[in-house]
Chain A
Amino acid sequence: MRTDEGRIGPARRIALALIALGVALGMVACGGDSGIEGSEAESDVETAEAQGEASGDLFVSNWPFYIDRKTVPAFEKKTGISVKYVEDVNDNTAFFGKVQPLLERGEAGGRDIMVVTDWMAKKMYDLGYLQNFDKEAVGPALDNLIPALQSPSFDPERNYSLPWQSGMTGLVVNTAMAPDVTSINDLFDPKYKGKVEMLTEMRDTVPLVMKASGVNPEDATEEDWMAAIDKIEQAAASGQIRRFTGNDYTRDLANGDAVAVIGWSGDAVQLQADNPDIEFVMPDEGCMLWSDNMVIPVGAPNPAAAYEWMNYAYEPANQAQITNYNYYVSPVSGVKEILEKQGSDAAKSDLVFPPEEYTADCSTVDTPPGGPEAEQRVERAFQSVITG
């Protein structure tokens, strides 16, 4: 049997719905703004003092596959510090999107060290999200930093950033399939239609395309950025560019889905292990140089342990272990000698220890000019192309 007590007439139902809607709108109107705070640059940056002996817990956020399997346990054994090593940085902007709300409140979700690319380190610093290093505590590491990386334009005195690894962005080519690709312009050659890929990292892809058009990224205007983005958009719409990728272009190269891509130096060496035809090619116009830096965020619970980690990673023997695994450019002096002694191939590689003339035409990765709003415009245009 059924009763009618649970039934509402249509008129009453509509009335209820209208009331509910009204209440909701009223709440919206009275609600004020969302309380999602943005930032204005803060000038008083704190220094992360290393207090007392390094001990306790350490929380490091890094990119995936940036460390061998032995370094963390060895560090724990030597120092008694227990390490939470999380590989949750896949993309600078996406990572920033994730941690920004925390950093804005002066927290870092318990992180003591984060690893981000130069421009992102600067952006975070300018927003007041990072702390200055305690120079005394990080002294041993700084002493071992190679001269070429000692005073980058964004942080000339290495006050808040210390490279984890450096690298080059250039061409990664399957030389058996695309033997004559030597310039970024070759990526636009119809011969390779649908077999070409570019990076979703705007600050790698766009400056390289600008260089190919003869524009120096270091003094490019917003129009130059937009022109390069247009060029990329056309190539994407016509199917010349197969897709935009993060590190996953490696799979497309290995599978034969792509023959020439914009990619990073360390990956090329790894790919060679399985397919000797795949090579990093220094573009005729030069490459982009970058470092991924360790930084200490505001609210880091244990800076002392963070410095201990930095100093450990900057001991040449330990660094050799890491470099030998990931094949990126090592920021530490004395690593080459150790690797040579161990007979590692890494010691002979131009990609791990690039000679000065090899990178002569390269530029450093930077951000579009004209302040945050112009930057946002360029970012928006680029994102719109890669989600076309």
Chain B
Amino acid sequence: MSRAWRAVRERALNVYAALAIAYLLLPIAVIAVFSFNDPEGKFNFTWQGFTLEHWTNAFSLPPLNDAFFLSLELAAASTLVATILGTLIAMALVRYQFFGRRPANFLIVVPMATPEVVIGAALLSMFLIYGLELGFATLFIAHVMFSISFVVVVVRSRLIGFDRALEEAARDLGATPLTTFRTVTLPLLTPAVLGASLLAFALSIDDFVISNFNAGESVTFPLFIYGAAQRGIPVEAYSIATILFLVTVVAMAFTVWQQRRAQQMASIRPEQEDEPYAGTPAMPPAPGAAGG
């Protein structure tokens, strides 16, 4: 009896998982469908008819374009800086024992434990007091700030599972520290760093709350959507959101490809082959998987 019961249960689990995935993707489907809508007025709320117009002219609305490209620029810049700073911190935390380690750990965790609205408001308080002009610079500061912790956590979880023996082997074979870093450490680290930067990018391009406080007259993509949600979101915004989704999928596929390469490198050591898993997940996330 237990076998039959188990079969049912196993199927139930798969069905449950499939439903959960469907739930996650449902709004994306709605967004994609509405990007083909053909409303007569300026509001894109109810289905009116099919058109390709908003795809062929996805980038024909200057304010929307400005917002979108501003968001891309901001995300790229803040991701770059946050990834570098966060990776350095993660390396220090995993590889060195030093005085002040706990406070440092604490300082990295607390921003993640702080609601966005508090971070946004606090930064605004400071910018106001210093009379800093709100705009790209303040957005950049804020985005790097809230991304660092997540980068640290992702890279650290990967570094912990990292096999130091490979580096030592390289050094024993006569490689200089720099060469070792370039030829062994970096390639092994790449998936984690890519994953972390993807997460940082997602956090940045998605952020509304903190940006809303600190944007000044800059309008990022989410801020534009928020404003437009008041008066009717142009269909083009749905097309761009769908494009963003598709580009993400491509970027993720690329990350996985990188991951595979790193795994191939890691599997050089024969005794690892029977390991049931090879390394941490490909995907950015695992934000909380700090442990390890």
Tell me if chains A and B make direct contact, with any CB pair below 8 A: yes
Residue positions of A touching B, CB distance < 8 A: 2-3, 5-6, 8, 13, 34-36, 61, 63-65, 69, 72, 85-88, 90-91, 98-99, 101-102, 105, 107, 109-111, 246-248, 250-251, 254-255, 267, 270-275
Complexed CA–CA distance, A109 and B219 (Å) = 13
Known interface pairs A90-B230, A270-B232; A255-B131 also in contact (CB < 8 Å): no
- In whole Å, how far is A212's beta carbon from the nearest beta carbon of chain B? 25
B230 A111 Cβ-Cβ under 8 A: no
- In whole Å, how far is A23's beta carbon from the nearest beta carbon of chain B? 14
Residue positions of B touching A, CB distance < 8 A: 39-43, 45-46, 48, 60-63, 66, 97-102, 125, 128-129, 131, 133-135, 216-217, 219, 223-224, 226-232
Query: Which residues of B lie under 8 Å from residue A101 when comparing CB positions?
Result: 128, 131
Complexed CA–CA distance, A36 and B226 (Å) = 28
A250 B129 Cβ-Cβ under 8 A: no
Complexed CA–CA distance, A3 and B99 (Å) = 11
B46 A274 Cβ-Cβ under 8 A: yes
Query: Which residues of A lie under 8 Å from residue B230 when comparing CB positions?
Result: 64, 90-91, 246-248
Complexed CA–CA distance, A272 and B39 (Å) = 11
Nearest-neighbor residue (CB-CB) of A255 within chain B: B45
| Cβ contacts A to B, 10 pairs, < 8 Å | A6-B101, A65-B228, A85-B62, A90-B227, A98-B216, A105-B131, A107-B133, A109-B216, A111-B217, A274-B39
- In whole Å, how far is B40's beta carbon from the nearest beta carbon of chain A? 4
A274 B63 Cβ-Cβ under 8 A: no
Query: Which residues of B lie under 8 Å from residue A90 when comparing CB positions?
Result: 226-227, 230
Q: B228 contacts which of A64, A109, A274 (Cβ < 8 Å)?
A: A64
Query: Which residues of A lie under 8 Å from residue B48 when comparing CB positions?
Result: 274
Query: Which residues of A lie under 8 Å from residue B100 when comparing CB positions?
Result: 6
A6 B97 Cβ-Cβ under 8 A: yes
Nearest-neighbor residue (CB-CB) of B98 within chain A: A6
Which applies to chain B's interface (DSSP): helix, strand, loop or mixed?
loop
Q: Give the interface centre of B100, B135, B224, B227 by most chain A CB atoms within 10 Å.
A: B227
B62 A109 Cβ-Cβ under 8 A: no
Nearest-neighbor residue (CB-CB) of A249 within chain B: B230
Complexed CA–CA distance, A247 and B228 (Å) = 9
Nearest-neighbor residue (CB-CB) of A256 within chain B: B46
Complexed CA–CA distance, A3 and B227 (Å) = 55
Query: Which residues of A lie under 8 Å from residue B45 when comparing CB positions?
Result: 250-251, 254-255, 274
Complexed CA–CA distance, A86 and B215 (Å) = 13
Known interface pairs A64-B231, A86-B219, A87-B219; A6-B46 also in contact (CB < 8 Å): no
B63 A247 Cβ-Cβ under 8 A: no
Complexed CA–CA distance, A206 and B44 (Å) = 29
Nearest-neighbor residue (CB-CB) of A100 within chain B: B128
A61 B217 Cβ-Cβ under 8 A: yes
Complexed CA–CA distance, A254 and B44 (Å) = 9
Query: Which residues of B lie under 8 Å from residue A63 when comparing CB positions?
Result: 231
| Closest 6 pairs between A and B when the two form their complex, measured CB to CB | A273-B41, A254-B45, A247-B230, A273-B40, A270-B41, A247-B231
A254 B46 Cβ-Cβ under 8 A: yes
- In whole Å, how far is A251's beta carbon from the nearest beta carbon of chain B? 5
Query: Which residues of A lie under 8 Å from residue B41 when comparing CB positions?
Result: 270-274
A69 B61 Cβ-Cβ under 8 A: yes
Complexed CA–CA distance, A5 and B133 (Å) = 44
Complexed CA–CA distance, A250 and B133 (Å) = 34
Known interface pairs A3-B97, A88-B219; A250-B43 also in contact (CB < 8 Å): yes
Query: Which residues of A lie under 8 Å from residue B216 when comparing CB positions?
Result: 98, 102, 109
Query: Which residues of B lie under 8 Å from residue A247 when comparing CB positions?
Result: 230-232
Query: Which residues of B lie under 8 Å from residue A6 when comparing CB positions?
Result: 97-102
B129 A34 Cβ-Cβ under 8 A: yes
- In whole Å, how far is B217's beta carbon from the nearest beta carbon of chain A? 5
A251 B128 Cβ-Cβ under 8 A: no
B42 A65 Cβ-Cβ under 8 A: yes
Q: A248 contacts which of B40, B61, B229 (Cβ < 8 Å)?
A: B229
Query: Which residues of B lie under 8 Å from residue A248 when comparing CB positions?
Result: 229-231
Nearest-neighbor residue (CB-CB) of B48 within chain A: A274
- In whole Å, how far is B223's beta carbon from the nearest beta carbon of chain A? 8
A87 B227 Cβ-Cβ under 8 A: yes
Complexed CA–CA distance, A211 and B224 (Å) = 35
